Structure 1
């Protein structure tokens, strides 16, 4: 028997590792534009525009006085509350909390426990991950393991603040380039996601693949963030060091590796991709990364760094919060994050499944 053979249907996506039931974001205060930033630190407004390509950022400290207005725990609790509201769940539904940051409010108590207290949580596991830009995905990786181990619902929160590391009143002319760049790259913020084993409704986003790999063996750090205490023996050691040239060279290539590894893990082709959430070091850097990937023109970018600045741990969840309002049933997205401190590759393959009609 012969007949016409139709096109082969693409293979189904792998089972979901977990589901994202709701997301939330928190950015402190009013946006600080480049003119205001120039006035605070004496950095050329034109140089910021040309070198970084970021229009605004938010700070948890007052740009005029340097007074702290928002702690990291403040921002994390705010983002978490919004994620819970978006999910339709409440604090009593949570089985665990995971927080990732490079800039905790204190070494102890952990910012994770302070955030849990703000949310009214008690008698549940609380974890804190010390990480940079890859921290949100590291936290989601741990959440996946906890859900696989028997928990049903958890909260992932990620964020960073800069008050301890960007010195108010600093004369930019006194800084080496490796330190100066941090004064124009970073902003403060937090993002959150409620994760579940099963979707509660048709709005849930399925995590089809998750990548988390250390890739820095034998490689010098691209970024260093130091912690200074009373026993500091090297007072001239910079608090923040950024090898921006090396990062510019390495991050685009690592991004390409992550994209193709995630597509392979999810069983998708590039043509089946609807959205890309690229690494968010700066506005111009994001443009170069996306242009170099050569993805199909129908793949839309979800970025926020031009308006938020580089918020470190928060950025992947800020992008995910933006995506949640755009991703239609049946659409797919990749989220990519590269940590340059000692080179960590992370990413997510995300899909909003076609609606099932379940109430």
Structure 2
């Protein structure tokens, strides 16, 4: 009797991160300096060291005159390509994924590409502080679909340009307070198809009914011009309440689906707004502090560049098989998880 044996299915390919880099502006601004500037310009009498005491942020990096979102992205991109041993011409997909852009049109990806000298398919992805992780996921999908072999995903964040340094009265100071957490940074990753490891799990949860809780509302068709809408508006405590209300369901699903516990991750990278916010995250989720890469006290809230900067800080020490969990939190409101295993 003849029995036909089906050929074994080939292993499913994945997209993996093969190089990482970040880029920080050289200029440092302490919370004390920022508070002195605000009080000098506005005449407000603020409690001593209130910015640092409330946020836990001692300093942040700020882009200089002539430095833009694209500048920070290009700095990180060049470093990532160098580490990968690749040239800009080796990329066939370039994704600029950021809450910040140089101009409304064209896509900032084209400005980055012109500086690099590459000829890849170039596009922007934007979703507040989740932009960079969304960009990685979009590039991953295109690699798996056969649309790209190698992708360069970059972010350049300059949210310091949306900070109100001359508030008129305490109400305006409170409305713009979340902006005083901002710091500028760039990050980049190279993605390629891998035979083992790679990005093994992605999940998202979106609650768009809260889109108006905080943001920078100028530059679009609602408010195309006008200084008032160029500043960040929002109540940090209200944003925190929204995230707490949404809860930990996306993290719970990830753990149930993958069977992974917190100790199975070498590092857990989480978007960091303030130190109290990060401490509340640990309290709600049970994530151990020793798994975190804490950047907010010295670098502030770097918007979507936060996770890229954290990954760059630990990437060199990772070994094959080490897992890293990305936890993105973004206005809108969206929450995102991504599990990556180093090949």
Decide whether aligned partners of structure 1 residues 220 and 272 sit closer, same or farther in structure 2, where only a CA change above 3 A counts: same
Q: Tell me the secondary structure at the aligned position of residue 248 of structure 2.
A: helix
Q: 1:190 aligns with which of 173, 182, 186?
A: 186
Deviation, structure 1 residue 260: 2.1
TM-score in terms of structure 1 length: 0.81
Deviation, structure 1 residue 317: 1.0
Q: Tell me the secondary structure at the aligned position of residue 327 of structure 1.
A: coil
Question: Does the 8 Å CA contact 1:28/1:58 hold for their aligned counterparts?
Answer: yes
Q: 2:163 aligns with which of 161, 166, 173?
A: 166
Deviation, structure 1 residue 326: 3.2
CA distance in 2, matches of 1:27, 1:49: 21
More moved, 184-193 vs 322-331: 322-331
CA distance in 2, matches of 1:243, 1:45: 21
Deviation, structure 1 residue 84: 1.1
Q: 1:147 aligns with which of 143, 149, 154?
A: 143
Aligned to 1:313: 304
Q: Is 1:41 the equivalent of 2:38?
A: yes
Decide whether aligned partners of structure 1 residues 112 and 220 sit closer, same or farther in structure 2, where only a CA change above 3 A counts: closer
Deviation, structure 1 residue 255: 6.4
Higher helix residue share: 2
Superposed CA deviations along residues 112-149 of structure 1, whole A, max 9, x for unmatched, are: 10001111112x21010122111011101110111012
Aligned to 2:336: 346
Superposed CA deviations along residues 250-275 of structure 1, whole A, max 9, x for unmatched, are: 32465622322222333323342332
Aligned to 1:242: 234
Deviation, structure 1 residue 86: 1.9
Question: Does the 8 Å CA contact 2:264/2:323 hold for their aligned counterparts?
Answer: yes
Decide whether aligned partners of structure 1 residues 237 and 109 sit closer, same or farther in structure 2, where only a CA change above 3 A counts: closer
Aligned to 2:8: none
Q: Tell me the secondary structure at the aligned position of residue 336 of structure 2.
A: strand
Deviation, structure 1 residue 73: 0.9
Q: Is 1:60 the equivalent of 2:50?
A: no
Decide whether aligned partners of structure 1 residues 295 and 162 sit closer, same or farther in structure 2, where only a CA change above 3 A counts: closer
Q: Tell me the secondary structure at the aligned position of residue 117 of structure 2.
A: coil
Question: Does the 8 Å CA contact 2:176/2:231 hold for their aligned counterparts?
Answer: no
Aligned to 1:224: 215
CA distance in 2, matches of 1:331, 1:229: 42
Deviation, structure 1 residue 221: 2.8
Question: Does the 8 Å CA contact 1:212/1:345 hold for their aligned counterparts?
Answer: yes
Q: 2:268 aligns with which of 273, 276, 287?
A: 276
Q: Tell me the secondary structure at the aligned position of residue 112 of structure 2.
A: helix
Decide whether aligned partners of structure 1 residues 235 and 93 sit closer, same or farther in structure 2, where only a CA change above 3 A counts: closer
Q: Tell me the secondary structure at the aligned position of residue 221 of structure 1.
A: helix
Decide whether aligned partners of structure 1 residues 15 and 181 sit closer, same or farther in structure 2, where only a CA change above 3 A counts: farther
Q: 1:50 aligns with which of 34, 50, 53?
A: 53
Q: Tell me the secondary structure at the aligned position of residue 176 of structure 1.
A: helix
Decide whether aligned partners of structure 1 residues 253 and 326 sit closer, same or farther in structure 2, where only a CA change above 3 A counts: farther
Decide whether aligned partners of structure 1 residues 233 and 309 sit closer, same or farther in structure 2, where only a CA change above 3 A counts: closer
CA RMSD of aligned residues (A): 2.7
Aligned to 2:113: 116
Decide whether aligned partners of structure 1 residues 258 and 15 sit closer, same or farther in structure 2, where only a CA change above 3 A counts: farther
Question: Does the 8 Å CA contact 2:99/2:127 hold for their aligned counterparts?
Answer: yes
Q: Is 1:303 the equivalent of 2:290?
A: no
Structure 2 gaps of 5+ residues are 1-10, 40-45
Question: Does the 8 Å CA contact 1:22/1:83 hold for their aligned counterparts?
Answer: yes
